[in-house]
Amino acid sequence: EYTLEVVACIGACGLAPTIMIDDETYGRLTPRDVRKLLRQKKRAAKAQ
């Protein structure tokens, strides 16, 4: 389960558009990249 929060700045303007998951920043993302990343995170969580 995820929570989406819109914020003014996460201090990574050079990597925009960016997202943070836990304490990790992911940058230069397309909508497709975000879907792929969320699928990977979901699989990794199930494997634990």
Condensed to tens digits (0 to 9), the pLDDT of residues 1-48 reads: 789 999 999 999 999 999 999 999 999 999 999 999 999 999 999 999
pLDDT for the residue 2: 85
pLDDT for the residue 16: 95
Name the pTM for this structure: 0.82
How many domains does the structure of the chain reveal? 1
CA-to-CA distance for 15 and 29, rounded, in angstroms? 8
Expressed as residue numbers, the domain containing 42 is 13-47
pLDDT for the residue 29: 97
Query: 24 lies in a domain?
Result: yes
Query: 23 lies in a domain?
Result: yes
Query: 3 lies in a domain?
Result: no
Q: Which helix (H) or strand (E) holds 43?
A: helix 31-47
**What 3-state class would DSSP assign to 12?**
coil
